[in-house]
């Protein structure tokens, strides 16, 4: 089968990261690749794309994926496209493959009755955000990977669809006007379709299986790709749809059961996503034993580590008590914390978790909001609304390669200096994490369960709001 792959790419830094390169190189074994990027590529990246693809085009960042596909199809033209048996529209939001693509293409080539097919499907749901005026989102193939075959490829219907498609001004418009519409539009014209990954048994469980249970799709259903967005989707959104463990389960599976270099993808995401988003989805918090082993403190310098003492935040007496207790218990766990660095080569900064005392959590959030304006421009990474996972109480243990300028450690004299630690590590390709005890982790789980119960009880919600108002008036 003669196949053309239009691969859409976007990167705010103008780079074609490892995940994109691996995907393009893998797909190029099964067809010719037309590479189109929304933005200006760096010279080295442009040279790479030109060397491994049929064509490399750069365009203004307008119209998202729809704009890129429209422009690519207009340049390729109907007459030239008639020389191909199949057109694949694929975008950079997929990472992989984690396995050979041969089974997928072999399986779908054995189904000539299909006019078009896709990698995965999204099931019907109600959504004002993506369903337009009706709020109805139909079951559909997901636009991250769509394959269209002749004769549909050469039909007036196909070309009219793209010619009449308005350029979306937002992600929501792209989903509502293209992704959720494509499948139904052509199915209504009598075209048969299907997805390669069979998730029919999950239809009543998850509307979006590739995001809700990606490990299941990779491990047991032959899916060769996963969404890079799995690693930075807001954790609060995931907790509304799942138990919140999908991203970490996906990462662990890829790391342990495949040879896909997932840490290189993570390194790229560290340059493009807020640290708190990655930490929230991948749960960068370690649980150390409650009883610290006796022994002398480790030789940190020999391990390429250093212990930096942090100023304790000003607070009310109760919050100050819990902060001091967290720091005291952390002092007993330095050896265990140091051992984490040997186990986790991407770990750059680790420090004690913020106490679960609500005022301590609120104080930390307030301190982050106050510090963010001054931090803008001091690092070349995006800053999220929520604080990164470190530093916190008493001290931070750091990998010198992650935060030092040569042999010089950063001076920690202000709260702003402390916030720069995880951000500088992130900029250098390292993650930051916090640690707690088994008792602390159990208490956090119980606290979350309590919040869920209260959220389901209108009386409890009203009572909590009353308490908040009362405390505000006392301040």
* Beta pairing partners, 285: 434
Of 315, 282, 280, 326, nearest to 440 by C-alpha is: 326
Cα–Cα distance measured from residue 403 to residue 13, given in angstroms and rounded to the nearest whole number: 22
The 8 Å CB, 24+ separation contacts for 43-52 are 45/14, 45/15, 45/16, 48/16, 48/21, 49/16, 49/24, 52/24, 52/25, 52/28
pLDDT value, residue 449: 73
Confidence (pTM): 0.91
Confidence of residue 260 (pLDDT cuts 50, 70, 90): very high
Q: Domain boundaries in the chain?
A: 3-202, 286-438, 445-474
Confidence of residue 100 (pLDDT cuts 50, 70, 90): very high
Confidence of residue 289 (pLDDT cuts 50, 70, 90): confident
Confidence of residue 299 (pLDDT cuts 50, 70, 90): confident
CATH tag, 3-202: 3.90.550.10
Of 207, 236, 194, 203, nearest to 127 by C-alpha is: 207
Residue 168: what are its φ and ψ, rounded to 5°? -70, 145
Over the stretch 69-94, which tens digit does the pLDDT of each residue have? Answer: 999 999 999 999 999 999 999 999 99
pLDDT value, residue 413: 85
Q: Alpha helix locations (H) across 122-178?
A: 156-164, 171-174
Over the stretch 183-233, which tens digit does the pLDDT of each residue have? Answer: 999 999 999 999 999 999 999 999 999 999 999 999 999 999 999 999 999
pLDDT value, residue 162: 97
């Amino acid at each position: 089968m003669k196949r053309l792959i239009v691969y859409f790419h976007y990167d705010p830094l103008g780079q074609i990261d490892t995940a994109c390169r691996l995907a393009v190189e893998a797909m190029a074994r099964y067809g010719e690749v037309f590479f189109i990027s929304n933005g200006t590529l760096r010279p080295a990246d442009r040279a790479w794309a030109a060397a491994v693809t049929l064509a490399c085009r750069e365009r203004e960042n307008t119209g998202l994926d729809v704009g890129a596909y429209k422009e690519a199809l207009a340049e390729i033209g109907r007459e030239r496209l008639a020389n191909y048996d199949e057109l694949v529209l694929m975008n950079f939001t997929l990472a992989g493959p984690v396995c050979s693509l041969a089974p997928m293409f072999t399986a779908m080539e054995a189904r000539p009755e299909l006019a078009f097919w896709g990698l995965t499907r999204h099931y019907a749901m109600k959504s004002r955000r993506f369903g337009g005026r009706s709020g109805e989102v139909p079951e559909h193939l997901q636009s991250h990977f769509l394959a269209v075959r002749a004769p549909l490829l050469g039909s007036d219907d196909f070309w009219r669809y793209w010619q009449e498609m308005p350029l979306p001004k937002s992600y929501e418009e792209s989903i509502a006007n293209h992704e959720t519409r494509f499948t139904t539009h052509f199915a209504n014209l009598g075209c048969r379709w299907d997805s390669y990954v069979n998730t029919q048994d999950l239809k009543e469980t998850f509307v979006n299986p590739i995001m809700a249970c990606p490990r299941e799709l990779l491990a047991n259903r032959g899916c060769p790709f996963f969404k890079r967005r799995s690693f930075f989707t807001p954790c609060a959104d995931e907790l509304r749809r799942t138990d919140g463990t999908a991203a970490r389960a996906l990462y662990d599976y890829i790391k342990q059961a495949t040879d896909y270099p997932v840490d290189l993808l993570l390194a790229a995401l560290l340059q493009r996503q807020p640290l708190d988003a990655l930490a929230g989805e991948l749960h960068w918090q370690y649980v150390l034993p409650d009883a610290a082993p006796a022994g002398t403190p480790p030789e940190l310098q020999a391990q390429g580590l250093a212990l930096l003492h942090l100023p304790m935040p000003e607070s009310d007496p109760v919050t100050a008590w819990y902060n001091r207790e967290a720091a005291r218990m952390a002092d007993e766990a330095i050896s265990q914390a140091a051992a984490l660095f040997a186990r986790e080569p991407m770990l750059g900064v680790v420090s004690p978790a913020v106490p679960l005392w609500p005022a301590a959590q609120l104080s930390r959030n307030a301190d982050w909001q106050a510090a963010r304006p001054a931090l803008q421009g001091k690092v070349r990474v995006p800053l999220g609304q929520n604080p990164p996972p470190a530093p916190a109480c008493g001290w931070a243990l750091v990998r010198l390669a992650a935060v030092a300028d040569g042999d010089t450690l950063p001076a920690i004299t202000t709260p702003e200096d402390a916030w720069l630690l995880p951000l500088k590590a992130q900029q250098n390709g390292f993650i930051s994490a916090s640690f707690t005890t088994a008792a602390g982790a159990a208490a956090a789980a119980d606290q979350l369960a309590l919040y869920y119960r209260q959220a389901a009880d209108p009386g409890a919600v009203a009572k909590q709001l009353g308490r908040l108002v009362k405390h505000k008036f006392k301040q």
